[in-house]
Amino acid sequence: MHLVYKKGRGKQARQIDPTSPSYGGCFLFHSDFQQVTNYLQFPAMAQPNIIIFGETGVGKSSLVNLIAGTDVAATDSGSAGRTFQSSAYDVSIGDTTFKVHDTAGLDEGQGGSVGNQRAIVQLYELLRKLEDGVSLLVFCMRPRVKGSCTRNWLLFWDIICQRRVPILLAVTGLEFEEDMDAWWGRNQENFAIKEMYPTGVACITATRGKRRRDGTFSLDDEYEISREKVRKAIKTLYRREPWKVERAEWFKTIVEVSVNVQKGKKEEIRNCRTELGSATRELIDRKLMTKEEGEELAHALKDI
């Protein structure tokens, strides 16, 4: 695991310190040293909530099982094994018990459009209703970076969580790489271009592979290495003081006041109009969604 303390973004933010110590094969990045001490210095006041999110089929439930060390989440292929709503599991890492939330897949629609709006609503609702707040986001994805990855990342980390929650990027499906960690070296700049700045990165496999005749599995070694990476990253990165997710501004009401004077009497006239809020405006301005998609999503989220 490489600890890199850096300020700023762009080229400066993308540099990795090659002299940083290795610790479990996971890359950790922090935008500010004081932020790191805030994460690590204080004991957790409540059971930390870890949110695993991403598209369907990227291995979110398998990642839960990897972290837990046992099969607690269903991972069967087909619709019967898909996660349609969030499920929570207690997972102990060292002396800390985390509440790990497996969430519905944020599917991509045709032509890169917003697909499963219901899953977005469910995830936002989960984040809003957690009384103890959120301690860590884990974005799970396959090695190919799609447009929907960028949209989902920026929607939940940038806009909804306001970058107040550390985010771990867990890249699955790397079991046949000669060096799983080399994937990040090849793709790091692409993430920075897309303004996706993970607090930490774990390049892993979430499968044990085929069962051998002796009862072992073909990817046992890679699986155990991956498990150690993710567990160490979670224990290192999570916020000791959880962030309570506030309601985003999907719409705002503008009140215009005018005064009409007739025959010496003043009459105050109020006109109200509704405009797109800052959160919706950001989705549209950053081309994460079309105006129609942004407005439709805003209407679905505005009362949560």
Residue 18, both tokens? 């090659």
Q: What is the DSSP letter of 114?
A: B
pLDDT for residue 274: 87
Q: What are the pLDDT digits (tens) for 226-282?
A: 999 999 999 999 999 999 999 999 999 888 777 777 777 777 777 888 899 999 999
% of the chain exceeding 90 in pLDDT: 67
Sorted by where each begins, the domain ranges of the chain are 49-71+85-237, 255-301
Mind spelling out the 3-state secondary structure of 200-264? Answer: EEEECCCCCCCECCCCCECCHHHHHHHHHHHHHHHHHHCCCCCECCCCCCCEEEEEEEEEEEECC
The gap between the terminal CA atoms of the chain, to the nearest Å, is: 38
Question: Helices (H), strands (E): how many in the chain?
Answer: 9, 10
The C-alpha atoms of residue 230 and residue 25 are separated, in whole angstroms, by 9
Q: With a cut of 70, which residues of the chain have pLDDT below it?
A: 1-45, 76-84, 108-115
How many Cα atoms sit within 13 Å of 290 on the Cβ side? 9
Query: What's the pTM value of the predicted model, to 2 decimals?
Result: 0.82
Q: What are the pLDDT digits (tens) for 82-105?
A: 556 789 999 999 999 999 999 999
How many Cα atoms sit within 13 Å of 294 on the Cβ side? 23
pLDDT for residue 37: 40
pLDDT for residue 85: 79
- The CA distances from residue 79 to 57, 73, 120, 142, in Å, are 11, 14, 19, 19
Superfamily of domain 49-71+85-237: P-loop containing nucleotide triphosphate hydrolases (3.40.50.300)
Residues in the chain: 304
pLDDT for residue 15: 35
pLDDT for residue 265: 79
Nearest to 50 by CA among 103, 98, 83: 98
